[in-house]
Structure 1
Amino acid sequence: MSKLNKLNVDRQTLAELEIYNDNSSSLNIFDILDRTITTGGKDNLKLQFQNPFITQAEIVAMQDTLKTISNDIEKWQIPFTKKMMDMVEVYYFSKSETVISENSVGRYLEGHFYSFKYKDFKDTAINGTKSTLLFLKEMKKYFTRFEKNQLPVLLQQIYSTVQQIMDDKDIQSACSVVNIESMGFNDSITIDQWFRNKHKLKITALIDIAYRLDVYLSMAKAVNELNLTFPEVIDSEKPVLELEGLYHLFLKNPTSNDLAFENGKHFLFLTGPNMAGKTTFLKSLGISIYLAQLGMGVPAKRMKISPFKALFSSLNTTDNLSIGYSYFYSEVMRVRKAAETLQKEKKAFMIFDELFKGTNIKDAFDGSMLVINGLLKWESGMFILASHLTELSKRIDDKPSVFFRYFDSSVDNGKPVFSYRICEGKSDERLGLIILQNEKIEELLTP
């Protein structure tokens, strides 16, 4: 499933958007969406998630596949259980050799010799062969449910591959066995020879197909169960992004928001006080782009997108003492990484949450202006900067490619109230001191 041409997303972005986390105990998007049945299916889903598409054709092909399956989940339920596929995997990783004789007598004698030579031969050649034969018969039966010409492209390709393999005379002969459990020793080692030697590539191709079907079914189930929406994907050199009813998948009762980068606007300056919802919104936006380019549905009522070649975030940069980086220098290196990504990919979506927090306000302001002016030159990308330095907005008011949004808040009886709604314009609301006072910090610090 891996591809050379895939969405450029670095490890920090994946962690910040919580697509994956190095800490396996924390909640992440992959675990929320994973509904695979088999071990190999889960491994293949991880590969799929690591390789988002960058072309409209690839994304739409995946969408068509998932739409077909999600429209009739029961029909597409796979008969390949975890136990069955684990037994097939063990069978193919066995160290015991297959018999090589071409006649039945030779196979019989050779089989009994191997029974003494390899401790696992009998279990492999008998039980493993039976498990794999059951798998093949289930695969053959499974595809009788479908008509090839009614399937989308990706499923047609799978159908054709399965059909071609099943047409092999040896595999047909093996599948003609009526009672697998009563199959004799000689028949078992003959079929074992076919499966693990003569037709090994064909059988392993069917195993891969089983895992791919598990992946597609898992993705389709997630779309249905989480009520995700397939975005409209267009082929455009200039970036296009519109969202209605966007929300974050982690929240049980989320507040949804709309955002559209109108024609000629490619830089969003986002303001609002702490705790108003800016970071959650930025993460939900990055997640939606990532899922859209996987060909999946997204947590929004509507989405329109032209595929990006890179997705980049700088939301939570930390110092790196192991290589001698201070907090500020780590921020600088993160911006450098963004610039290098832009130079390489051109069409990128980038999210920044407060540039240069690790230095004084003057340097932070000047440094932020340097970065903003640089990003404004890249019409091939889209950028969001969330910042508390509202003074920056006055310097870019007259930039035609910049637009402004803020997250609303108010104070009620001395307590901050948040609507978690994005609004047009700017915010100069400052609630930090109120929050400190409400938490009685001054009293606690009084001797």
Structure 2
Amino acid sequence: MSFIADKQTLDDLQLLGKYNSASIFSLFNRVKTKGGEQLLDQMFLHPLTNEQAINNRSSIFRYFRDHAAEFPFQHDVISAMVAYLEENSEQSSMLSLVRMTRNRAMAMLTKDETYEREQQGLQASLLMLRECDQLLQRLERDALHTVTPWAAWAEKAGPVLRHPQAAAFLHMPANSELSLSQAAQLRYLVAGVWKEQLQALITATYELDVYIAVGTVAREKHFSFAVAHPRSANFFTATDVRHPRLDNGTPNSFGFSHESNVMFLTGANMAGKSTLMKASGILLYLAHMGFPVAARVLEFSVLDGIYSSVNVPDDLHKGYSHFYAEVLRVKTVAEAVSEEKRLFIIFDELFKGTNVKDAYDATLSVTTAFAGFTECFFIISTHIFEAGEALREVPSIRFVFLPTVMEGHVPRYTYKLQEGITTDRQGMIIIENEGILDML
């Protein structure tokens, strides 16, 4: 079963985007290889839905957070070897010798470059094998090849590097030119005998690239790792959560359960509601990936997906107003919820595209209805604090707010959650402080 997170959610939370420097993907994209970047992208696109798989991946990242390591290979050497494996295949040592002899002859007679490219590909493959051999020797010397996450890589490297015919090539002087017979034999081994094993080793190397990169980010950012529980546990508890892009962000703690599945959030403009909601969504998404999270503690039961409604655009081509786009978004979530999926749902300012009376009635009705789906967790923010007062009789709703402290005529925001409902409204004060009315 795939984890659910549609484009609206991915955009709201700025999760993806290699070329978006503000994305969460970019935060973790410290990889050294193209294959590592592709693997990282796949991890972001496909969060995990099994608690054991999540916890297993987390334990690997945690190891590399706690045991600093540098990626031990040259990315250009890996790329050259990968290209050689993709372009070549060999069935026998005799055919390899015939092929190499023909290519060398063509190079001498017609200046054909095939033989030179072949030599370059083989030299790159040989250099990669030597780097792998050096790493494997270090792992064996330090007893890391069987008792740590390095073991998965060592398991792929061992059969090739300890092959009876490998020693002669590994012990050749560095940068020494391959004779025709040596080139033919190495071609047969690399493009024939070892090809599938080398491809598996390359994949393990890409994984190593991602593990080291993500572990490094976790160490530098002081991120922790979540503990995943089975779906049936139906809870989520987080301590000292902050947005992963804010190194000095104010931490907040909150949780959800079967008995308390809705967090009703109020606060003035600029009080930090949207940032808190985005931080919570990112937290849950990364947790399902097994990635480090910007929280001191996080334990959660596995969910089926996340929906958010933060920046819902209108649609000029379809003639949808902002309000109608909001309604359609709520309908999408309602359909998913009614299918008995376990979801984490964020609504930032429900129905802000309509008048206050309709927004009040709709917020009251929709929030009450969603509260009945106790297998799902909701964060719903609003400026209409009167709706919160009317919802106090719903037992599964927790009321929290982000306060504003007035220092004279200047608002100061603590960004720290408090229990209750706030009536703060500083919109006109901000407008007056900016001198807009005086300008007019």
TM-score, normalized by length of structure 1? 0.89
Task: State how far apart, in whole Å, the 2-side matches of 1:297 and 1:103 are.
Answer: 50
Q: Give SS of 1:193's match.
A: helix
* 1:47 shift after superposition: 1.3
Task: State how far apart, in whole Å, the 2-side matches of 1:239 and 1:7 are.
Answer: 16
2:294 pairs with 1:299: yes
Task: State how far apart, in whole Å, the 2-side matches of 1:375 and 1:290 are.
Answer: 21
Contact 1:21–1:28 (8 Å) recurs in 2: yes
2:104 pairs with 1:112: yes
| Structure-2 change in CA distance of 1:119 and 1:263 (3 Å) | same
* 1:288 shift after superposition: 1.3
Q: Map of 1:2-401 to 2, 5 A cutoff?
A: 5-21=1-17, 24-74=19-69, 77-94=70-87, 102=94, 106-113=98-105, 115=107, 119-144=112-137, 145=139, 146-152=143-149, 155-171=150-166, 174-175=169-170, 177-179=172-174, 181-261=176-256, 264-344=259-339, 346-401=341-396
Q: Give SS of 1:321's match.
A: coil
2:378 pairs with 1:411: no
Contact 2:96–2:188 (8 Å) recurs in 1: no
| Structure-2 change in CA distance of 1:317 and 1:180 (3 Å) | same
| Structure-2 change in CA distance of 1:323 and 1:185 (3 Å) | farther
* 1:151 shift after superposition: 2.2
Task: State how far apart, in whole Å, the 2-side matches of 1:382 and 1:294 are.
Answer: 19
Contact 1:238–1:380 (8 Å) recurs in 2: no
Contact 2:238–2:298 (8 Å) recurs in 1: yes
Q: Mean alpha-carbon deviation: is it higher for 288-297 or for 350-359? A: 288-297
Task: State how far apart, in whole Å, the 1-side matches of 2:218 and 2:346 are.
Answer: 26
- Pairwise CA RMSD: 2.5
* 1:251 shift after superposition: 2.3
| Structure-2 change in CA distance of 1:25 and 1:48 (3 Å) | closer
Q: Give SS of 2:414's match.
A: strand
Identity %: 27
Q: Give SS of 1:150's match.
A: coil
Paired amino acid for 1:109:
T
| Structure-2 change in CA distance of 1:66 and 1:316 (3 Å) | same
Gaps of 5+ in 1: none
Paired amino acid for 1:257:
N
Q: Mean alpha-carbon deviation: is it higher for 285-294 or for 418-427? A: 285-294
Contact 1:99–1:189 (8 Å) recurs in 2: no
Q: Give SS of 2:263's match.
A: strand
* 1:98 shift after superposition: 6.0
| Structure-2 change in CA distance of 1:263 and 1:356 (3 Å) | closer
Task: State how far apart, in whole Å, the 2-side matches of 1:89 and 1:104 are.
Answer: 19
Task: State how far apart, in whole Å, the 1-side matches of 2:395 and 2:306 are.
Answer: 24
* 1:403 shift after superposition: 0.8
Task: State how far apart, in whole Å, the 1-side matches of 2:317 and 2:186 are.
Answer: 56
Gaps of 5+ in 2: none
Corresponding residue pairs, total = 435
Q: Mean alpha-carbon deviation: is it higher for 235-244 or for 224-233? A: 235-244
TM-score, normalized by length of structure 2? 0.90
Paired amino acid for 1:140:
D
